[in-house]
Amino acid sequence: MTIHQTQPEQHTTYRSSKTLSGQWTFRLDPEDEGVSHDWQTTEHEWPIDDCHSVTVPHAWQELEIARDYTGVAWYRRSIDVDDSNWTEKAALIRFGAVDYETTLWVNGVQCGTNRDGYLPFAFEVSDALVPGENTITVRVKDPEDSSEIPHGKQGAPWYQRVSGIWQDVTLETVPKTRIDRIRATPNLDTDNARIDIDLVGVEEPGALTASVRVARDGEDVATAETEIDGEGSAATTVSIDDPDYWSPESPTLYDVTVELLRDGRVVDRYEDYFGMRSIESRDGQLYLNGEPRYIRGALDQGYYPETLYRPFDEDLFEHEIRTAKELGFNLLRKHIKPAHPDFLELADRLGILVWEEPANPTVHTERSKNEVREQIHGLIERDYNRPSVIIWSLYNEEWGIGNPQGLDEETSLWEDEWKQEYLEALYEEAKSWDPTRLVCDNSGWAHVATDINDYHQYFVSPDRADAWADNIEWMTSTPWENYAATVTDPEDAPLIVSEFGTWGMCDLPAIEEYYGETPPWFDYDFFDDPIKRPAGVYDRFQETTLPAVFDDWASLAETWQHREFRSNKDVIEQMRLHDGVAGYVMTEFTDIEWEFNGVLDYRREQKAFHDEFAAVNAPTSVVAAVNHAQWGGESVPVDVTIVNDTVETGRAVLEYELEGVEASIDADVLEMEYAAFEPTTFAEAATISLPDVESATTVDLTVTAETDTGTVSTTERITVVPRSVSPHDHAIHVPEHNHQLGARLAGARYTLVDDPQVADVIVTTGTDHGLLELIAESGTAVLILPPAHEGAPHTELFDYTTLSEGESWNLVSSLFAHDSPLLDGLGGDHRPDWAFEGLYPTAVASDLGPEDAVHVDYVEGWIANWASPLVTRDHGDGRVCSCTFRLTDQYGEHPTATALLDRLVEHLATDSGVIPDTR
């Protein structure tokens, strides 16, 4: 079976092309018997029952029958060729990208083999073509074992494999003596550009000259002519009068046309474009066109629902770039695989910076080293003229060079000096291939020789806001600790946090509706971490108490997305306020399959916080610093900072608005001048006067700044707690070993009793056998808290899971949620939020059952690892409440801690469990 299709031709005077994209016949070859059975010959008929019609470009995993298939597959189609198209020229079949190993036959004649999954290649087919109908046959092999192959995040433990002809295919006719490629190297110091020209098929270089023309908007701005040297190459420098430099704000491009002449007659013409743009790093800062540039980036992995590596809409690349700029991003880091060339052209034309990197292998062998090196070289050659590209990475997180997986046969880049020497040599080689761009040797850590000192840090806020602040201080004060060897100067390299981010659950029913079925990424065989497995998520949701908190999945997703925003907002603001950080790259631009940490979802639809995030990420933004938990009747100072990433000074007009409890604000600063390229802070720019309140409530402060670049605003919620509340007359017992806690409770005018048997409530940091017997037999209620500076209470009544006190992928994927009156007025809607700053737990009760009264749910990822920081459990005739919020040493000082502990005592002392509206 062969699909026969006529495609429109595209002609110029010297070159022509015919697209071979479209319908092809596709056939699997699981036994790899095709070559031995002559599938490549025109005489061999492909059985209809074994074949499928596919539209190239495509990945064979788009077909349900081949979704999990690795191995060999074949493509075939026929084309009609006019003999006048190529008999006096060379004919090439060019592939944009095929994953992984490609062999081409034309009319049964083998024309070439290529190995690489991401970059373009071409085979000359002049001798194999015949006038009339021609049969094109392609064999593709993508082996199951990809450990030595640059494969990025295909397969375990990440996303769907991608195999086959996933970019366009064309038949081209070109002159036999022709221009192969040109390199335009701008020099902004002299406002000129060096044009290097490489030729093929040169037999008499002395008879050839090259004419160079540079134009902008169709008008010539520079011309030059040059001789061809004996190596079949040429170079010339053209000066551009008063050029416009390329930048994201002004993406000016120059068209370059090179004509090849023999004895004054044009024999070939080659066209491309470039931008007058420079990038450098020095003194801890990036400079674009000689001006400082702060990076506000997002990780962009370039995966799409159903079509995988290809966009599902022809306008999607443009939509992505425009949306990224709308959201305030000025850079996209195209992660772990070369960017699609169509994306790069739009990045050049629409104006966004790009950080590119090769795909990574898993292991470090001679083969994997060679393939990484070849891919980096090919990537630089392909994209050398693309002004949007400013950074090349060589490796990511040691994948394929170190040992992040803990393999027995691998060694860590931190320790292996031979690997460090290899990486240094590769860095130097990449710089020799392209001295105009920055090179990052190993993104994330264990640097050796690099132009950028980047970190991958996953902190969630407000849960670990203080730990994140401490981490920023560590990074900026000891940059050399991120280096395995210091071939380049750590203190000279700009510090960029190139991965961070928090998860925000997607609208899963909408994703399922998009697919029309259960998405294929719901239950990969390689899932080994429950937070990554969507399969069974609805059942797990029902097994928790979350259905009592949220009316439907949409309300859960909206709450989780607001947690994502609030966390990322603080993480970003802390970086932007610190002069030692030169930029950031957020993980990530869109959700990817099961990974729901995007600013957009997998369909490229907006999440709940779209407009709010754009204000946080804008070139000029406003930050309001307040204490988020306050006593009623107090005054709250507000520090206001204008963060300005531009190189222009400006003036901002400020407005303050309060919403919620009746409060007033006295604004001392209504206008402020702000500096160029740094934050400008006015301490106590305003003061909020909070009223006395009878119960906990909230007030939202919104600060709006009219700046020279636009209007931005920020909102901070303040929780207000009554300071003076007379506790109910309950007898409290606090064991002697908790004397400090007892003193705090006594200071709050609780009545403390020595005999636990007469107590209404026992408050303790642990239970022994005797206490548990007392609870069970007497019906006493007990509140157990963790000891100061510890995560979990000392008790056998609950099992606890420890949570990281710092960076944690589990924590950034987590959600605390509640609909409990115990937390009324304390923080956000269904979330503890900033009211609990400094109180977030480092352990949660994890052995929950249907009889437990769960007041606050804790889940990670796809509703996994259900636990609780606040849960009440019956024990015999008594009740025990486990609270791992850190109240023990903050009662009486922290308003939220005080209100919550008072409510818990009242809750446990009251048989009905009804919470009086006291705090």
Vertex 293, ends 291 and 295: CA angle to 5°? 170
Q: What's the whole-model pTM score?
A: 0.94
In contact, 268 and 200? CB cutoff 8 Å = no
Phi and psi angles of residue 895, each rounded to the nearest 5 degrees, phi first: -55, -45
Q: Which amino acid is at 870?
A: L
The domains of the chain are located at 3-174, 178-274, 279-615, 618-721, 731-909
Is it true that 178-274 and 618-721 share their CATH fold?
yes
- For domain 178-274, which CATH number applies: 3.30.1300.10, 3.30.420.40, 2.60.40.10, 3.30.460.40? 2.60.40.10
- Main-chain dihedrals φ then ψ at residue 740, nearest 5 degrees: -70, -40
Among the residues of 588-731, which ranges form H helices? 610-616
Tokens 């600013």, residue?
599
Distance CA 854, CA 873 (A): 9
Task: Report the pLDDT value the prediction gives residue 724, as an integer from 0 to 100.
Answer: 73
> Is residue 52 within 8 Å of 66, Cβ to Cβ?
no
Distance CA 441, CA 400 (A): 12
The neighbouring-strand residues paired with 871 are 854, 882
**How many residues are recorded in the chain?**
919
What pLDDT shows up at residue 736?
A: 80
Name the strand (E) or helix (H) holding 136. strand 132-142
For residue 752, which phi and psi values (nearest 5 degrees)?
A: -95, 135
The CA distances from residue 314 to 56, 274, 322, 328, 877, in Å, are 14, 24, 14, 24, 67
Residue 502, H or E segment:
none
Beta strands in 263-408 (DSSP E): 265-274, 279-282, 285-288, 291-292, 295-300, 331-334, 353-356, 389-396
CATH pick for 3-174 out of 2.60.120.260, 3.30.70.260, 3.30.450.20, 1.50.10.10:
2.60.120.260
**H helix runs in 292-340, sequence order:** 316-326
Rg of the chain on CA atoms, in Å:
32
543: helix, strand or coil: helix
Question: In the 3-class helix/strand/coil scheme, how is 16-42 assigned residue by residue?
Answer: EEEECCEEEEEEEECCCCCCCCCCCCC
CB-count exposure of residue 435 (10 Å: 0-12, 13-18, 19+): exposed
**Helix or strand run (H / E) with residue 258:** strand 254-262
Give the per-residue pLDDT at 541. Answer: 95
Q: How far apart are CA 639 and CA 678, in angstroms?
A: 16
Give the integer Cα–Cα distance in Å for 754 and 734: 8
What is the per-residue pLDDT for 86? Answer: 64
Closest CA to 234 of 271, 261, 266, 214: 261
Report the sign of the C-alpha dihedral through residues 844, 850, 853, 857, in that order.
positive
Q: What is the mean pLDDT of each run of 10 residues along the chain (919 residues)?
A: 42 82 96 95 90 96 95 96 75 96 97 97 95 96 96 93 97 94 97 96 88 95 93 94 97 97 92 97 97 98 96 95 98 97 97 97 95 97 98 96 78 94 98 98 97 98 96 97 96 97 96 94 88 94 95 95 97 96 97 96 96 95 96 95 95 93 88 94 94 92 94 95 76 83 77 87 89 86 93 94 95 96 88 94 95 96 96 92 94 93 90 50
Rounded Cα distance, 912 and 732, in Å: 18
885's CB contacts (< 8 A; 6+ apart) are 836, 839, 840, 841, 869, 870, 897, 900
Q: What gap in Å lies between CA 208 and CA 271, rounded to an integer?
A: 18
- We find that the CATH architecture of domain 279-615 is Alpha-Beta Barrel (3.20)
In 3-state terms, what secondary structure has residue 463? coil
pLDDT of residue 84: 64
C-alpha 469/C-alpha 477 separation (Å) is: 12
Structure tokens at 519: 């998405």
Dist. CA 540–CA 192, nearest whole Å: 63
Q: Which CATH class is domain 618-721?
A: mainly beta
Contact between residue 895 and residue 629 where contact means Cβ atoms under 8 Å apart: yes
Rounded to whole angstroms, how far apart are CA atoms 778 and 757?
A: 7
Topology, domain 731-909? Rossmann fold (3.40.50)
Which among 613, 713, 610, 595 has a CA at the least distance from the CA of 654? 713
**Can the peptide bond before residue 175 be classed as cis, meaning omega within 30 degrees of 0?**
no
CA dihedral defined by 320, 325, 330, 336, rounded to 10 degrees? -10
Per-residue CA distances from 48 to 27, 45, 51, 54, 61 (Å): 10, 9, 5, 13, 20
For 27, the token pair is 């056939």
Q: Left if phi > 0, otherwise alpha if psi is -120 to 50, otherwise beta: which for 749? A: left
